[in-house]
Amino acid sequence: MGSMAGITDILDLSPVDYVSKSIVYLSRQREALGKSFHLHNPQPISWHQLTDFLRSLSYPI
């Protein structure tokens, strides 16, 4: 549609390869048994930054 909503939320996006490797690693650690882990990006971005990034890749937004 060539547009992006004017959302002001912050996005906590993490690369799937990082998250999947972390899950595999943690699943092999005895000390991790029964514990919870929260995998997140320590440098979240805004919707505005994501829109700018997509535009820099020549997507018509």
Please choose, from the candidates 40, 44, 45, 55, the residue with its C-alpha nearest in 3D space to the C-alpha of residue 4: 55
Structure tokens at 54: 């997509």
Residues 6-51: tens digit of each pLDDT? 778 899 999 999 999 999 999 999 999 999 999 988 999 998 898 8
| Whether residue 1 has pLDDT greater than 80 | no
Q: Is 42 helix (H, G, I), strand (E, B) or coil?
A: coil
Residues 20-30: tens digit of each pLDDT? 999 999 999 99
| Whether residue 5 has pLDDT greater than 90 | no
31 DSSP assignment: G
> So what's the pLDDT on residue 37?
94
